[in-house]
Structure 1
């Protein structure tokens, strides 16, 4: 310190005022800094000083990585300001204006925040004061070395010395914390999975059984599972590459008619049946990339693409984008069946339009094309010659609580495939939703489908949503053309009993067709209660009632009971 005291005879008396000002204003940022520059060393040092305490209490490496990421981004570069007028929140009438002007324009001790503010009216801790003092003393040493400052009195230098001695403990602690954080950061960077990819997972344990008439005889209580691992990669911070691995042993509950045969349709199918391999073998069931291009959002699917990945479904609390463990139990209640037509590989685009005004909010147009066998170069397959579905959808919002969507899907279906097969997501051509009468295609043909969906949230504790869809199927070479219909409505009570819980009831008509001679409408009602045990565990008991299975009143109603436990990590 003696070297500092006596060689500092060339330093201006304003150094003392600069020191106090940089302590009281320049580094008077909150403990959790969000905008810092590399030149604003005091505030950055304050953040560093507190990080080890947070890291020491963290129980997950992901939390630690978030801390490190914030530290690294907060200390990003910011050019040194050359005039106090560059601060938008500093006025010449401010009591500290002259001191700040000297600090900025004469001594260059501060750069300010990246948004051009100084934030000089915040309280500070002793650690922040110590960090500011240390930064200013470093600047004093630079000025001494260049011998370009004015003469300073011994009294002023003695004041600086007392300040340094007063805060010597804090300065030493700061240095220790910086060393600890840097060591921890180096360890994490050396051992983390990837700098661009996060691993996410979902595991479903499900206890399920079927009841009612012959359905009771066709089932025994089963304990099933499905596991998915998602690799979420981002290369620009705004894009996302999704690579999903899936495995499971879940099989559908048998719904049996009075003739003694089990139905192989999509009624009563549960969401965790989709993507389950049946024998716990692992398969790649989704590879998609999403990125913005100008105002538009682009969706590219290499495999496992679904219309509901990129199109607004408007079925909150029932729809689960991963089609599994957090929404409704059944595929019918989860989303409008129109989104189950086709799937696989292709391209989609979301384009906003309109300014919006009054009640009507800005709208968007969604366009998508998915081919089931795009990877197969043989005739009758490929990107354009095999099964495909092209979607167009207009999205509207009325105020902040009403969302509407009008959807059109044109599809081509080869002989033997199903109308609602979701690109062969369930054992090839088996339907994912709807009766066999609505799904079966005796010959290749085209379909034109029209759907409406709406969601209304009158309060934060109530959500109402519903859909209706009509499907016109034209088969080639015969007179077996048909029409199919579907509709449903759901009521959800979020945070029912506890924050994060959801009580949901959804009812409607499974996709059905009367051209086959079966005239009854297959209604389905589902009730479930998702109980959130923790941020990562939820338990969902539920009951599914199916009336007129196979579109026949002669068949006994069927009931499915499920207890689903979902782990997310």
Structure 2
């Protein structure tokens, strides 16, 4: 009995295991079928993908609402053209949003509300999807607007190669020394690191190396100096550090820790001439010489009084880091300028400059740079200037400038005074042969001492003229070639001196 009993128990166990095994297989089959049915039920029906034809009630209803309430910006929909569902939902959603505003004012009748409710029920799924996408886009835009600005450092560079020649007879104020009529090849390299911390400010650190000589050393007059000269044996050094940031929508603050000039703080009325790498080839042609009375470290503020009127103020000092002299005892200069653009084709500026021991502009005769024969150690100067530009047509612009310097030797007996004048006429013709190319012409008088109570000997008896022509040829966005020539008549404001001719071909690479 015992053996038979255990055999029965084993047989029953095998039957139970077999039954459970088949039951699991059946359940798996049922679950798979259920999942497949659910997936089939989730597939978008053909009706939800079809276009909305022009003869459908949905199309006609929406068109009637648009016509009655003008609820879509681009007007009616085309009767002869069907809309895909996405296009239809865009117009429907816009119409519902605009009509809802009328609902709040109680201006809708029951018939209109019924039509809208019917369309909303018909396209409820599409409207929900579309509005979710709009909300998602708005959230992304808000996140981009509120996220913290990430500063990045950019490297910009400028390289100048120049072939220059000087011709003439004797050196200025010399009866024996001839001007060496040689060609020279020189260069200037600038590398700028620029970054922003809030997106609207700019920090610039510029390195410079150059070996372009000052031609005054070889001709006897500063009137012939090039607008991009300077010789430090091509040793790279930091020559400029500045930081600019907005103080409100109309105001901008500029700091120079190194390398700032008075002209860097104020707007330029004739910008085509002002650049050292792409403007006039001469120092005199680039800007009004009265602006060259000071440089170094400084601070400036520029404020737009309205859309056409700007006021700029600045102060610079040559030896700001010297604790024995400080920023006020060192040679310094201050500038105030009002710039007016009454029309799109006209601009003018009026400038006042005060300087201390900075009367040397580096562009005029030796007497203008040293009107008191090295005997004064405290020279103050009040300078006044005006500049204008008039665009005759889209290509031709006529400009002009005048400047007066009243210098006074504060530490000499009777405080002698010297009056210095300068003027120039400018003409530019743009887009000659190539876009962004232009020709520039300068006719003017370099600074001249017209009166000096220190003595008649220290007045310029004659008048020099500066005659210049150059052509800035923009080959590509990063390459320009500027051939140019200028002539100085009566160098050093002395008609006994021979004319001096300076020619150069300046090639400028930027990156």
Gaps of 5+ in 2: 1-32, 53-92, 103-111, 140-149, 172-177, 453-457
Distance 2:98 2:316 in 1: 51
Alignment partner, residue 261 of structure 2: 306
- Where 1:308 maps in the other structure, the secondary structure is helix
Distance 1:439 1:5 in 2: 97
- Where 2:134 maps in the other structure, the secondary structure is coil
Change (3 A) 1:6 1:329: same
Q: Is the counterpart of residue 558 in structure 1 residue 475 in structure 2?
A: no
Distance 2:255 2:290 in 1: 20
Alignment partner, residue 317 of structure 2: 371
Whether the aligned pair in 2 keeps the contact of 1:484 and 1:511 (CA below 8 Å) is yes
Select which of 371, 383, 388 maps to 2:332. Answer: 388
Whether the aligned pair in 2 keeps the contact of 1:218 and 1:254 (CA below 8 Å) is no
Alignment partner, residue 350 of structure 2: 406
- Where 2:212 maps in the other structure, the secondary structure is coil
Alignment coverage as a number of residue pairs: 396
Change (3 A) 1:14 1:527: same
- Where 2:328 maps in the other structure, the secondary structure is helix
Kindly state the Cα deviation for residue 270 of structure 1 after the two structures are TM-superposed: 0.7
Alignment partner, residue 183 of structure 2: 221
Change (3 A) 1:14 1:484: farther
Distance 2:163 2:129 in 1: 73
Distance 1:400 1:4 in 2: 72
Distance 2:336 2:47 in 1: 67
Select which of 268, 279, 293 maps to 2:247. Answer: 293
Kindly state the Cα deviation for residue 253 of structure 1 after the two structures are TM-superposed: 2.2
Distance 2:138 2:401 in 1: 46
Change (3 A) 1:281 1:85: farther
Kindly state the Cα deviation for residue 9 of structure 1 after the two structures are TM-superposed: 2.7
Select which of 470, 477, 498 maps to 1:528. Answer: 470
Change (3 A) 1:503 1:16: same
Select which of 196, 199, 206 maps to 2:162. Answer: 206
Alignment partner, residue 443 of structure 2: 507
Distance 1:88 1:291 in 2: 42
Change (3 A) 1:395 1:554: same
Change (3 A) 1:548 1:107: closer
Deviations 1:284-311 (A, max 9, x none): 1110000101121110110101222220
Distance 2:398 2:126 in 1: 59
Kindly state the Cα deviation for residue 16 of structure 1 after the two structures are TM-superposed: 3.1
Distance 1:458 1:519 in 2: 37
- Where 1:222 maps in the other structure, the secondary structure is strand
Q: Is the counterpart of residue 319 in structure 1 residue 319 in structure 2?
A: no
Alignment partner, residue 232 of structure 1: 194
Kindly state the Cα deviation for residue 362 of structure 1 after the two structures are TM-superposed: 3.0
Distance 1:195 1:19 in 2: 48
Distance 2:38 2:474 in 1: 67
Whether the aligned pair in 2 keeps the contact of 1:84 and 1:104 (CA below 8 Å) is no
Alignment of 1:70-85 (within 5 A): none
TM, length-normalised to structure 1 = 0.64
Distance 2:290 2:477 in 1: 32
Alignment of 1:233-252 (within 5 A): 233-252=195-214
Distance 1:10 1:473 in 2: 91
TM, length-normalised to structure 2 = 0.71
Kindly state the Cα deviation for residue 87 of structure 1 after the two structures are TM-superposed: 7.4
Whether the aligned pair in 2 keeps the contact of 1:199 and 1:230 (CA below 8 Å) is yes
CA RMSD of aligned residues (A): 3.3
Change (3 A) 1:382 1:5: farther
Deviates more, 1:226-235 or 1:437-446: 437-446
- Where 1:103 maps in the other structure, the secondary structure is helix
Alignment partner, residue 544 of structure 1: 486
Whether the aligned pair in 2 keeps the contact of 1:84 and 1:105 (CA below 8 Å) is no
Change (3 A) 1:332 1:111: same
Alignment partner, residue 484 of structure 1: 420
Change (3 A) 1:197 1:529: same
Q: Is the counterpart of residue 420 in structure 1 residue 342 in structure 2?
A: no
Kindly state the Cα deviation for residue 91 of structure 1 after the two structures are TM-superposed: 11
Kindly state the Cα deviation for residue 419 of structure 1 after the two structures are TM-superposed: 1.4
Alignment of 1:145-184 (within 5 A): none
Q: Is the counterpart of residue 103 in structure 1 residue 33 in structure 2?
A: no
Distance 1:460 1:107 in 2: 49
Change (3 A) 1:107 1:411: closer
Distance 1:523 1:476 in 2: 31
Change (3 A) 1:330 1:14: farther
Change (3 A) 1:368 1:9: same
- Where 2:224 maps in the other structure, the secondary structure is coil
- Where 1:555 maps in the other structure, the secondary structure is coil
Whether the aligned pair in 1 keeps the contact of 2:315 and 2:334 (CA below 8 Å) is yes
Distance 2:468 2:398 in 1: 15
